[in-house]
Structure 1
Amino acid sequence: MSQDRFVLLGPGEVRPGRVTLPPAFAVKAMTGDTEGRFSLLEVTLAKDIPRHTHHEADECIYVLEGELGIDFDDQTHVAGKGAFVILPHGVPHALRAVSTPPPRLLQISSPGGWEHYVEDLIEAGPAVLTNGSLDPVKINPIAARHAITYEV
């Protein structure tokens, strides 16, 4: 194992990125840390994620706390604390909080890159929102650069 890729984070520590992310997104492993193989974020799902498709990356989610609503293809599921789900690329899905407080998750994207997508969304700011919610029409130009498409 190469020492230049060794990462040890203490509780509450995050990997620094191009922009400072809000506390709801804690980057634990950046794409560069894993030679592109995956990225890992600890996420508090404060806003529902509209139905979308990852065209290249598989998404894995482990629920740390709370309950996560998952719409996968044409099925609806609820994943509670300790649940794990794989959302394979190419299949539409949506995520939503079904608990209060909102669920806290470990989110793995393989191959990596998801943290860069989140950075792009944060840089866009309120321009990707309509009435405080993520707007698929406004997100799609940013998402397309990361091989993601939101349903309109």
Structure 2
Amino acid sequence: MSEHRFILLDAGASRPTRVPLPPAMAVKAGTEDTEGRFSLLEVVVAQEIPRHVHHVSDECVYVLDGELAVEFDDRTHTVAAGQFVLLPHGVPHALRPAGPRPPRVLQISSPGGWECFLQDMIENRTQISRQGRLDPAPLNRIAARHQITYEEPGQPGPAQAAAPDSDSGSGSGSGSNGSGSTSETASGTGTSSGQRESA
């Protein structure tokens, strides 16, 4: 029954995750919480999220604080606090801080799964980063399980890459991505568990 899915989180709290996420990432509603319909995260975008495409999920970003640069379909937009952007699946995009401080955003993926991708990234962080930056080639081996493709130098753009087999894994990203959406948004570990209450 739907009342058993009621969740009330305290300020700053995050839903429990299989792998601890950095403090700059808080899962407010996970894929399991929404029966796969969407996932909602509060994220501080501390570094660039490379150009990539979600083959299945639409990504939504609402900026709470700061400014976010959004590269979408070869155009760059500056999204300020109070503004919203919808990034439909199938179109390459990239995200990065645009102001003097990292922006804080709400990130929604529909269908859900972005937090699952982030946890896989964190588990493999030593394999997917080089000199503090994401390495698209090893990252794509993980992203493929979540129907995401990152642009690799010298390779066809992510929009031209064939969508991975959806049976190879579950979930999808953002932002995010996403967010590379990710250990790419911030560093550190740890997550606080939220409260689940029945109405």
Q: TM-score over 0.5 for the alignment?
A: yes
TM-score bin (small chain): over 0.9
Separation (CA, whole Å) in 1 of partners of 2:27 and 2:115:
7
Separation (CA, whole Å) in 2 of partners of 1:2 and 1:89:
28
* Residue of structure 2 in register with 1:76 after alignment: 76
Structure 1 or 2, whichever has the larger Rg, is 2
Per the TM alignment, residue 134 of structure 1 is displaced from its structure 2 partner at its CA by 1.1
* Residue of structure 2 in register with 1:60 after alignment: 60
Q: Report matched runs for 1:1-150 at 5 Å.
A: 2-150=2-150
1:41-69 C-alpha deviation (Å, 9 max, x unpaired): 00000121000000000000000001000
Per the TM alignment, residue 2 of structure 1 is displaced from its structure 2 partner at its CA by 1.9
**More helix as a share of residues:** 1
| Secondary structure in 2 matching 1:145 | helix
Per the TM alignment, residue 95 of structure 1 is displaced from its structure 2 partner at its CA by 0.3
| Secondary structure in 2 matching 1:34 | coil
Pairs aligned (count): 152
Separation (CA, whole Å) in 1 of partners of 2:37 and 2:84:
19
RMSD: 0.9
- Which structure has more relative contact order (CA 8 Å, sep 6+)? It is 2
Separation (CA, whole Å) in 2 of partners of 1:86 and 1:39:
15
Please report the TM-score for the alignment, with normalisation by the length of structure 2. Answer: 0.75
Please report the TM-score for the alignment, with normalisation by the length of structure 1. Answer: 0.97
Per mean C-alpha deviation after superposition, the further-off stretch among 57-66 and 1-10 is: 1-10
Q: Which runs of 4+ in 1 moved over 3 A?
A: none
Structure 1 unpaired stretches of 5+: none
Per the TM alignment, residue 126 of structure 1 is displaced from its structure 2 partner at its CA by 2.4
| Secondary structure in 2 matching 1:32 | coil
1:2-57 C-alpha deviation (Å, 9 max, x unpaired): 22211000101100010110011100000011110000000000121000000000
Per the TM alignment, residue 135 of structure 1 is displaced from its structure 2 partner at its CA by 1.4
Per the TM alignment, residue 131 of structure 1 is displaced from its structure 2 partner at its CA by 1.2
Q: Which amino acid aligns with 1:93?
A: H
1:71-119 C-alpha deviation (Å, 9 max, x unpaired): 0011110000011000000000000011222000000000000000000
Per the TM alignment, residue 130 of structure 1 is displaced from its structure 2 partner at its CA by 1.2
- Identity fraction in percent: 62
